[in-house]
Structure 1
Amino acid sequence: MVIFATGLNYKTAPVNIREKFAISESSYQDVINNISQIEQIYEICLISTCNRVEFYGVATDDIDNLKKEILRKLSQFSNIPVFELEKYIFFYTDREAIRHIFRVSSSLDSMVIGEPQIVCQFKESFLKAIELKTARHIMTKLFDKAMQVSKKIRTKTGISKRAVSISYAAVQLAKKIFGDLSDKNVLLIGAGEMAELAAKHLMATGVKHIFVSNRTFEKAVELANHFSGSAIRFDKITEFLPEVDIVITSTGANKPILTKEDIKKAIKNKQNPIFIIDISVPRNVEEEVNKLEGVYLYNIDDLKNIVNSNLEERKLEAITAQMILEEEIDKFEKWLAVQKVAPLITQIREYAEQIKQYQLSKLFQKLPYLSEEEKQQIELAMNSLINKLLHRPTMYIKQKVEKDENSLKDLQEIFSPKWDYRKSEKNKVEND
């Protein structure tokens, strides 16, 4: 039995290849059922995002045929020939596979380390597989462990605490300046993607109100409705500046639309500071504005520097996270080793049961006068004897395999049915 992880992601395949594996929510079940039909597979889970399409599962030790069958299925799905597809497909087994799965669940393998979306995507994927019963005992335990590892890493490291997107960095800066944003008004000038995203983040913090202004007034109305805000005509911006605390600019203007004089007038009677995020290129706000007292002006380069610095800090935190992850892999491998030895222990106990039943049968034939109660007492005594005799060997086998999984083959050989002398003699007589 092996745990495996296979598929393709942003590290192994370009977007033009990944997009051929796009799996909709409606097709998830068909895809996972199709893969689960591979003879070597016991359990399987599928995670599909814009950056990865990966399968995690439990299979037989016939790894070569497992790889071939998975490649064949994926080739059929994507219409990419096997010889070309295998350049983009990774295949990990056992510890390497467990490590990869834990890294994905903890967002250590994400394009942006520490991003939170993958945690939800990972959880949803496994819950679907559990619901479809393609993930059962081993994979359910692996899923639970992966979520525990993810939570532990986020709790004990700063891997996801620092902003690594321009828009989110802007919001974090606003929080540093104002603290609580619930009583703050925001003015969004223009409809740039990053400015709109920053406004979404600000809305999530519970800002009081959002005003939107755009050269095309209809577009301002549309965007304002999206935020349950108010649209302002472009030529009225300066009149509204005294009413707002946060300004986000993102227009295609070739020269500044907010001057030092505009801002100076706006803050004349303001008691609170004003925070301006200029994400435009060229810049929409005069650089001289930064010299005004009570004004905090940040442009896109300022935000990029913050983001890059935070990314470097996340990478340092990822080193600590990896150490935690390796410790948790060790724990899971010990549990997995015990699961692998379970069939052997079952085999030993079944063999002991067969011997017991054989000996009881012979004994009861010789002592026909025994009552049912006496027979039950004898059987209970034999059960107790067997349990006590097998307890130490069972504990030894579990501990031995935990420390050295390779010892399992030797132990299986020791307890192999071929060493049953009585059966060997019986077969010899029958063959003669």
Structure 2
Amino acid sequence: MHLLVVGLSHHTAPVELREQLTFHSCDANSPLRALMALPSVAEGLILSTCNRVELYAVSHDPVEAGRQLRGLLSAQRQEGGLQLDPHLYELADAAAIRHLFRVASSLDSMVLGEPQILGQLKSAYAAANACGCAGPILHRLLPRAFATAKRVRSETAIAQHAVSVSYAAVELARRIFGDLAGRTVMIIGAGKMCELAARHLVTQQVGTTLVTNRTLERARQLAARIGGRAVAFEQFPYHLHQADIVLTSTAAGGVLLTCEQLEQVIRQRRNRAMFLIDIAVPRNIDPAANRIDNLYLYDIDDLQGVIAANRQQRRKAADKAEDIVDQEVERFSRWLRTLEVKPLIVALHRQMEELRRQELARTLAGLSHLSEDDRQAIEAMSRSLVNKVLHQPITVIKAMGHEKAGELYLETARRLFRLEPEAGPGLADTRDKEDGVP
């Protein structure tokens, strides 16, 4: 049994091609049914996000399955000018397992360490499970992928350093104040960047959040979404002294807060620390304000510097994460190799038992004078002889089933004994026998 993945991602295809292959969640069942209708596919799963579309399949014939999966992707594609095939990748067996584990662990993501892909993969697995597309191998593979992602997050620092502007602002605020619980926040502007930063701050259990914008209604809408309070734009300077953290990103096109204004604010605060993040371009806060004691001002370039340093930290953590993935790939590959062993042993036993019965019947037919006890003794001896003859070959087959070179031994055994084991029986019985795998 083989695992195969065919797909494309932000690494291999531009967005104008990726968007032609997006499988919307509302019609996910139809593509899944089409996947399972392919003759070479025994189990299947579709992972479709803005950055990747991937078809996962379990098959006896990976070559034919690969051809059929490419055909399915072509059939699902909307009309477009770009050729599909040059942008597709195809991976099988250990390479496919490694790819899935890296995807789950966000090592293959556009933003290294981002958490969204794991949730998207879990949703894809749930959809495949609900449609009956997941079988014994996918039921083992996907939980192992989730467990690998959990190990990567718990044993490395890959997700501990902010790599977005909005979250980098929160990280800097925590460096200054430590615990942000109860701190008063002022958001100047109601754009996307302000909202993202505000949402991150709210998760830190900040206290009052004041929102102001030139259009009061937009300020009210944002305040409602984050549980804050809107302030008229003309009035916000009178509330500045209340704010421990100020974030500004407006299209005002000039300075909203001068150094002199902020000196007065710090006096009103009796020199209590104040943190200002100016992510507007052009800047909204006079850079000279940085000379004021207990006032910490950062602009977009400062945040980008933090992000660059954090990306470097994530890349270092990724090296350790890759080691974890390698360990888990070998663990799962070892289990997968054992799936070939049981059908082979069953077929070998069946063949030897049939030969034993034939020879026993032929022998006993010429020994009609023997008593029933003698007949049973001869039959017991024949069973014992077969078991002894098979003991060493089966011991070696079982041992080599765990080794990377095991397929060579299995194929040798098939040829020596002319065996054609069925691949289906026994798969379900192998679930839950690997220590520690849910």
TM-score normalized with structure 1 length: 0.88
Extract unaligned runs of 5+ from structure 2: 421-438
User: What displacement does 1:3 show?
Assistant: 1.2
User: What displacement does 1:8 show?
Assistant: 1.1
Contact kept, 8 Å, 2:6 with 2:70, in 1: the verdict is: no
TM-score normalized with structure 2 length: 0.87
> How far apart are the structure 2 equivalents of 1:258 and 1:96?
56
Contact kept, 8 Å, 2:9 with 2:51, in 1: the verdict is: yes
Structure 2 partner of 1:147: 146
Structure 1 partner of 2:3: 3
- What SS is found at the alignment partner of 1:114? coil
> How far apart are the structure 1 equivalents of 2:126 and 2:397?
34
Report the residue type matching 2:155 in the other structure: K
Which range moves more in the overlay, 192-201 or 353-362? Answer: 353-362
> How far apart are the structure 1 equivalents of 2:233 and 2:383?
89
Alignment of 1:24-173 (within 5 A): 24-63=24-63, 65-80=64-79, 84-173=83-172
Report the residue type matching 2:245 in the other structure: I
> 1:330 and 2:330 equivalent?
yes
Which range moves more in the overlay, 378-387 or 295-304? Answer: 378-387
Which range moves more in the overlay, 25-34 or 396-405? Answer: 396-405
Which range moves more in the overlay, 125-134 or 188-197? Answer: 125-134
User: What displacement does 1:358 show?
Assistant: 4.6
Structure 2 partner of 1:339: 339
Contact kept, 8 Å, 1:364 with 1:370, in 2: the verdict is: no
Change (3 A) 1:178 1:144: same
Structure 1 partner of 2:304: 304
Contact kept, 8 Å, 1:256 with 1:284, in 2: the verdict is: yes
> How far apart are the structure 1 equivalents of 2:269 and 2:82?
68
Tell me the alpha carbon deviations over residues 366-417 of structure 1, each in whole angstroms, 9 at most, x when there is no partner.
599759xx99999888777766654443231122243212332112112215
Structure 2 partner of 1:182: 181
Report the residue type matching 2:148 in the other structure: V
Structure 1 partner of 2:219: 220
- What SS is found at the alignment partner of 2:161? coil
Contact kept, 8 Å, 2:165 with 2:307, in 1: the verdict is: yes
Contact kept, 8 Å, 2:181 with 2:206, in 1: the verdict is: yes
Structure 2 partner of 1:413: 415
User: What displacement does 1:247 show?
Assistant: 0.6
User: What displacement does 1:277 show?
Assistant: 0.8
Report the residue type matching 1:7 in the other structure: G
Contact kept, 8 Å, 2:348 with 2:419, in 1: the verdict is: no
Change (3 A) 1:234 1:380: farther
Contact kept, 8 Å, 1:75 with 1:82, in 2: the verdict is: no
Report the residue type matching 1:93 in the other structure: A
> How far apart are the structure 2 equivalents of 1:66 and 1:82?
26
Structure 1 partner of 2:281: 281
Alignment of 1:231-246 (within 5 A): 231-246=230-245
Change (3 A) 1:383 1:236: farther
User: What displacement does 1:144 show?
Assistant: 2.1
Extract unaligned runs of 5+ from structure 1: 419-432
User: What displacement does 1:243 show?
Assistant: 1.3
Which range moves more in the overlay, 26-35 or 348-357? Answer: 348-357
Report the residue type matching 1:252 in the other structure: A
- What SS is found at the alignment partner of 2:58? strand
User: What displacement does 1:179 show?
Assistant: 1.8
> 1:319 and 2:319 equivalent?
yes
- What SS is found at the alignment partner of 2:297? strand
Report the residue type matching 1:28 in the other structure: A
User: What displacement does 1:363 show?
Assistant: 8.3
Tell me the alpha carbon deviations over residues 195-221 of structure 1, each in whole angstroms, 9 at most, x when there is no partner.
110001111121112111011111111
Contact kept, 8 Å, 1:8 with 1:53, in 2: the verdict is: yes
Change (3 A) 1:351 1:234: same
> How far apart are the structure 2 equivalents of 1:189 and 1:136?
53
Structure 2 partner of 1:256: 255
Contact kept, 8 Å, 2:46 with 2:55, in 1: the verdict is: yes
Change (3 A) 1:237 1:339: same
Alignment of 1:339-378 (within 5 A): 339-355=339-355, 357-358=357-358, 370=372
User: What displacement does 1:38 show?
Assistant: 1.1
Which range moves more in the overlay, 384-393 or 115-124? Answer: 384-393
> How far apart are the structure 1 equivalents of 2:231 and 2:342?
71
Report the residue type matching 2:402 in the other structure: E
For these two proteins, the number of residue pairs brought into alignment is 415
Tell me the alpha carbon deviations over residues 101-159 of structure 1, each in whole angstroms, 9 at most, x when there is no partner.
11101110000111111111112212321232212111222112212221222222211
User: What displacement does 1:184 show?
Assistant: 0.8
- What SS is found at the alignment partner of 1:412? helix
Contact kept, 8 Å, 1:44 with 1:55, in 2: the verdict is: yes
Report the residue type matching 2:320 in the other structure: T
- What SS is found at the alignment partner of 1:41? coil
Which range moves more in the overlay, 243-252 or 67-76? Answer: 67-76
Report the residue type matching 2:275 in the other structure: F
Change (3 A) 1:380 1:105: farther
Q: Report sequence identity in percent.
A: 36
> How far apart are the structure 2 equivalents of 1:368 and 1:80?
81
- What SS is found at the alignment partner of 1:283? coil
Contact kept, 8 Å, 2:213 with 2:219, in 1: the verdict is: yes
Structure 1 partner of 2:202: 203
